[in-house]
Structures are given as structure tokens and as C-alpha cells.
Amino acid sequence: MSIKKYTIGTPFVTDATVKEVKAENSIREYISVKENTIELTFPLSPDDIIYGLGEQLGGINKRGRKYRSFCSDDPCHTEDKEALYGAHNFFVLSGKDNFGIFIDFPGEIHWDMGFSKEDEISIVITGTDADIYEISGESEMEIVKEFRDLIGKSYLPPMWAFGYQQSRWSYPNKEQIDRIVKGYEDADIPLDTVYLDIDYMDNFKDFTVNEEAFPDFKEYVATLKKKGIRLIPIIDAGVKCEDGYDVYDEGVENNHFCKDRNGDDFKAAVWPGICCFPDYLKPESRKWFGDKFLTLTEKGIEGFWIDMNEPALFFSMERFKKAVDYVKKYNGEDLNCWDFFSYRDQFSNLSNNNEDYKNMHHLDGKVSHYDVHNLYGYMMMRGVSESLPKDSLLFSRASYIGSHRYGGIWTGDNTSWWSHILLNLRMLPSLNMCGFIYTGADCGGFNGNASRELVIRWMQLSVFTPLFRNHSAIGTRDQEAFAFSDSDEFKRVIQVRYRLIPYLYDLAKKCCDNNELMFKPLGFEYKDKLSKECDDQLLLGEEIMIAPIYEQNKSGRTVYLPEEMTFYKLSGNKVTHKEKLSQGIHYVDVALDEVPLFVRKGKTVPLCAPAKNVDSLDKTVTEYLEG
């Protein structure tokens, strides 16, 4: 087991790692330093598997695709996409050689993982200053543990954050929140939190609460708390430019905002219109912004989700004007197809444009944002975490390795598609490898309309993920657990989560303390071909294997058992099925109100009784599932 560090040029300090590793005197043959880039090339043998890369599309095995590290606000997670909201530059190669590589570089990286050439990994770092870590070890797990030790201990929220959570864009006022709480109460379904999306604010201004919508916010927060329900507000990265708005005024006065190339405050539009962007890379500015959260914790708030921190930019005035001038020029003209396409692209390319990222500057104009893009969400979360009371819930959309010490992440704007249940499952081990233990997807899917069957099947996976939050976009069909017919079926699935909470929380804590994975690919434990290729089942801790159903109109699914296991189905407070299954392939039936799981031979899973929320959970073990 060893870590070697190769330092090229003068890397920007990211604080991704916590352990001092002395740089080697010379670099390895697989690294070549070019005029504007650094390139890494590794041969791939036919049976090699690539694990890792955190929040990315593709399978558990990352081989055969291209990826990009560039935190991106992309709400459409189709197969062709190369980048999502996180930049997690760590992978493990498992096969002929076993090693891990971590590239500590805050800008854009292109990963060709056996796509252009099937027998080669080719990585292009778009800069000439980076730290490259090479980690060797006997097994994949040993490499991951060594890496996790290098990057420091993962964040763990308070136990109530493992309860079932309900969100929507938006429940904009007290009446809507009351409707949701009552919906859950009437249906007798457990619930721990309700989320406040952007409409709770006054004109989308961070740290404001619309007083008409929430007349006495502090008292309201306390009333809900008495019922065991916590309100979790969203805070966005950009600050509305409006004279007289204290956060904006203070930011301007104390030089807290990023600059443009002329040294003026950089401006671009997000939800509230034109915004300035706190320079989270400056310690005093991220502290200033983090301390603002205390205005809400003083009102009883105990958790936050922070968003749009890639940062997402809808448009800059400069580019918008250019687009409008272009359109005016061609207005009334007979356009050929190329002119028309370029006309149309003027607008489709307005958001999250690299020209704007290049114009945005950090550290009083010294560093172009483009070069350190992947640190923005990370440093925002760092500042917030350093200001918040210990034991707060905090998670972010954008992230870099290092963020995992300060909070969790959710996986952004997925869609109510069956394939996104599978995507959720496949991301879990990769995220864990990169340090993100408190994580989960928008259960039921964010974009699009969800069917009853999809939401309940998705829940059969989410009952195992630390963040279990149902969230959906504006304009989509209601997808709360009580919104569909026969809500008792949803109740029985969600109750299973509460029965598992002491086990899951304990496991998550162990994974944070000992740098373990909560979710492991089967190939980490079993070396047979089917285990290594398995892309739709996971090991949970040392005890459980999960195999959720992710297809429509199915009464069950085919499962591969690498060894003998005991198959259980849980529903509400009952174990509805127990069966020893031999090593091999089986078809198992699973009804909509059951949660399937497989207990490994000789292992035991404790269950407690269900409860209406975590505060009232009696953690005494009532039953053991034996493997």
C-alpha cells in the first residue's frame, strides 16, 4: 500500500487532501507535460475494470465512455452527457494492474476511458499545474481506503436526516406546507422534513423570507418542530443585485464578490435576475456568506440545501445584448440553414457559457474562474459548514473532492424515467469511493411526470440511500407518497426505511469513521465473471445485497446471487417473505408494497419498530434478519 505524488508546475491549492505527501523527484512515464496541457495515458487489458469518477453517467464500470470534469448545471441526464454537477477526479483500475489515480486540478479535465481506443485510457488536463496521486494496493478496497484516508473524513448529518423527506419546487407558503404535513398525517405515513424551494424567499433573495407567505416564520418553524418535522430551506449561490438589499450592499462594500476582467463586480442572471457571486475562494468572503445562514438558524432552521453553485449562469448582460443584436440584424431576412442554426444558437448557448466563466475572476481579479471552476460549489459548502452549528444538515448540488468533509450532495435534476432509478443505483458506489456518503437522488424523479408505479419502485431503492428525499419540478404532477391511490402501499415501503434507520445510520457512521463504502460493486467482494459485470445490484455494508426493480410492468426481476443468501421481503412492520436461495440466477417476485433485500450468509441485520419520525423512533431491536 502506498501513495505517490507527482507535482507538475505550481498547482492551485484546493485543500482536497488532508494528509501531507511529499512530491516525488521525477514524474512517471504515463504523464506527459505538453505546452498547455498535461496528458496521462494508460494501457487497458481486455478484462480491466474502471471504477470511480463519482457523480457521472455510465455504468459501475466506467470503461468505454468519455467523461468531463466540469461542474455543470445540466438538467437533462441523457446517456450522451459527459459532465454533471460534480467533478470527482478519482478512479481505480482493477485487473492486470491495480492502482488508483487522483488528479487534484480544479479546472476542466477530459477523460477518455477506452472510448476512442478500446485498449487505452487517455486523460487530458487543461492546464500545466496539477498534483497527480498514484495509489497502489492489493485490492480495490485497499486503494479506495488509502485514497479516502488522503482526502479526510466524510460528513455525516444528524440521524433525523435519515428520515423520509418531502420536497417540491415549490411549496411557496405556509398553507402549502400545512397541506403536505396534513397529507402525511392523514395517510399516517412517516415524515421528517419538508423542503422550502426558492419561492419561500422574497423575490429569490437569499436569507429573506416572504412575510406574506410565512407571517411568523420563527413561530411556524417551532410549531412544525413540535410535530417532529423540520423545514429545510434552499440557498442559492448568487446574490441579487439590488441597492438596499443588505446582503448585496455588504458584499459590494466589503469586496466580497467575484470580479469581471475590468475589475468591476461580475454580474450574470439567475433566478432573481442579475446577481453578483460571492468569491467563496476568499476565506473572509466565504465566512461572511456562511455567517448569513445564522439569520435562519436563529429562527430554528437546522438544515439547508445549497444550489446553483456550479455556478449556474442563465445569461450575462454582455452576451444577451450580443444575441439580441444578432437577431435584430437578421430580422426579416431569408436565412439559409446555417444562418438559422447560428441564429438559434445565440440563445441556446447563453447559459453557463465558458466566455462568461472566463470573464469571472476570483481573489480580487487574480484568478480566472474558468481555471478553478470546480472549486466554486465546494468552497461555498465549506464556508457554510464552517459557520453552521455542528449537527446541521447540509448538502450541495455542485462538488469537488474535499466537499465530502463539509456536507453531502444530491445528484441534481434527474427525470421521472425508469432508467434513472438504475442511474441512481450505479452512481452510489462511485460517489462513496470519492467520499460522498450522505447522498441520494431526487426519488420519483425531478423533471417530468411520475407514474405511481415508478415512484413506489424508486422508493424501494431509496429506502437504502442515506438521503431519501422525494423531490419534483415545478409544473409536474404531484408525487408525494399520499398523492396516489392506495397510499397504504407507500406507507408500508417508507415504514421499512424507519425499521432500518439504526442499522443504516450506524453503517454510515462506520463508513465515515473507517473510510469504508456503504455501497460496493459486487466485483469488490466476488471475483467471478457475473459479479464483476453486475451493474444493477449492490452490496450494502457487509450484510446486505440489494437488487431493486427498475423496469415498468414487472412483478419481479432476475437476480444473480454470487453465494447462498437469504431473500427477505419487508412490508410495513412485517417480514412477508423469507427464503434461502442458492448461489446462481433466480427470478424473484416483489409486490409494490414490499422491499426486497438479500442477507449474506452468516450475517445479521437488526430491525426496530417503524415510527412516524426519527425523533420518536425507538431504536430497540425488535427483530433480526439472519443470513
Residues that bind ligand GLC (CB under 6 A): 169, 197-198, 234, 307, 397, 412-413, 471
Is-cis flag, bond preceding 283, omega within 30? Answer: no
Min CB(182)–ligand GLC separation in Å: 22
Among 77, 149, 582, CA closest to 404: 149
The neighbour count for residue 315, using CB atoms within 10 Å, is 20
Distance from C-alpha of 473 to C-alpha of 477, rounded to nearest angstrom = 9
Classify residue 203 as left (phi > 0), alpha (psi -120 to 50) or beta.
left
Q: What distances in angstroms separate CA 307 from CA 71, 294, 330, 400, 412, one per listed residue?
A: 12, 18, 37, 14, 9
Range list of β-strands (E), 322-466: 361-362, 367-368, 393-396, 399-400, 408-410, 439-440, 442-443
The smaller minimum CB distance to ligand GLC, of residues 167 and 385, is found at 167
CB of 391 to ligand GLC, least distance (A): 24
Distance in angstroms (rounded) separating the CA atoms of residues 46 and 65: 15
DSSP 492-521: HHHHHHHHHHHHHHHHHHHHHHHT--SEE-
Within 8 A by CB and 6+ apart from 105, the residues are 11, 89, 125, 127, 129, 130, 131
Q: Which is nearer to ligand GLC, 234 or 437 (CB)?
A: 234
* Between 155 and 169, CB nearer to ligand GLC: 169
Amino acid symbol at 545: M
Determine the residue with CB nearest ligand GLC: 169
Q: In the numeric block, which cell numbers belong to residue 381?
A: 459548502
What the block records as the C-alpha cell of 93 is: 483500475
Judged by CB, which is closer to ligand GLC: 62, or 420? 420
580 grid coordinates: 434461502
Cell 450506524 belongs to residue: 506
CB of 353 to ligand GLC, least distance (A): 18
13 vs 474 by CB, closer to ligand GLC: 474
Look up cell 487534484; give the residue: 104
Least separation in angstroms between CB 76 and ligand GLC? 11
Return the C-alpha cell found at 143.
486503494
Q: Which is nearer to ligand GLC, 91 or 446 (CB)?
A: 446
193 vs 571, beta carbon nearer ligand GLC = 193
Question: Toward ligand GLC, which CB reaches closer, 395 or 568?
Answer: 395
Closer of 197 and 593 to ligand GLC (Cβ): 197
